[in-house]
Amino acid sequence: MTTSLQRTKSQERRTEKQAYMPRLKSQYLHSWAKELKEELKLSNTHEAPKLEKIVLNVGLGRAKDDKRLLEVAENTLLKISGQKPLQTIAKQSIASFKLREGSKIGLKVTLRDVRMYEFADRFINLVLPRLRDFHGVKSKAFDKQGNYSIGLVDQSVFPELTYEDTASPHGLQVIFAIKAKNQQHARALLEKFGVPFEKENQ
């Protein structure tokens, strides 16, 4: 009897996990993809721009040999993403930068699906509004493929971090990797997500 109950509870937990869908993903699948198809005059919803992954990067630069800063940056990425970051390694030596091949030069986390949408929701609605003198993100930060990058000067704007976590400040780059035909389509997707772009005259 006990074993049967345990199986039932385990199945219920699995069903709950399968049924859960982040808010932004649900809205994209149920309404935004169709709206983008119409607004961008696409032939079907499969052509609608789509968020594929979010990459978080921390470059250590001159502080690459500072073990304390490396630990702080690892803690930052772990807490704000829920994933253990990977260390990025220099692929070649560059004498002018005193960089040796194989040196640790940064950290990165790649988020997909559930964690990606959850992070995007928190970042857009909680983190961006906390930026000092924030008037919107820059509209010219797209690359040719439509991917969008936002750079932060330090990690203190993330509500997941305590005061102690931010005692050693470091920069952070957030990259939205978007499958889109062009920059305009990628921007249309981010606007659906609620990303506030600065006005052109600012």
Please indicate, yes or no, if residue 27 is contained in any of the structural domains.
no
- For the residues 20-35, what does the mean pLDDT come to? 96
Number of domains in the chain: 1
pLDDT band at 102 (very low <50, low <70, confident <90, very high): low
Please indicate, yes or no, if residue 21 is contained in any of the structural domains.
no
Please indicate, yes or no, if residue 13 is contained in any of the structural domains.
no
From CA 58, how far away is CA 108, in angstroms rounded?
A: 6
pTM over 0.85: no
Please indicate, yes or no, if residue 38 is contained in any of the structural domains.
no
Please indicate, yes or no, if residue 2 is contained in any of the structural domains.
no
pLDDT at 63: 59
Please indicate, yes or no, if residue 31 is contained in any of the structural domains.
no
- For the residues 173-190, what does the mean pLDDT come to? 96
From CA 78, how far away is CA 96, in angstroms rounded?
A: 32
pLDDT at 12: 59
Q: Taking CA 136 as the corner, what is the angle to CA 134 and CA 137, rounded to the nearest 5 degrees? A: 110
Query: Is residue 92 pLDDT above 90, yes or no?
Result: no
pLDDT at 13: 60
pLDDT band at 183 (very low <50, low <70, confident <90, very high): very high
pLDDT at 157: 94
Closest CA to 34 of 162, 163, 201, 189: 189
Please indicate, yes or no, if residue 134 is contained in any of the structural domains.
yes
pLDDT at 96: 47
pLDDT at 14: 59
Range of the domain at 169: 49-193
Please indicate, yes or no, if residue 187 is contained in any of the structural domains.
yes
Say which amino acid occupies 88.
T
CATH code, 168: 3.30.1440.10
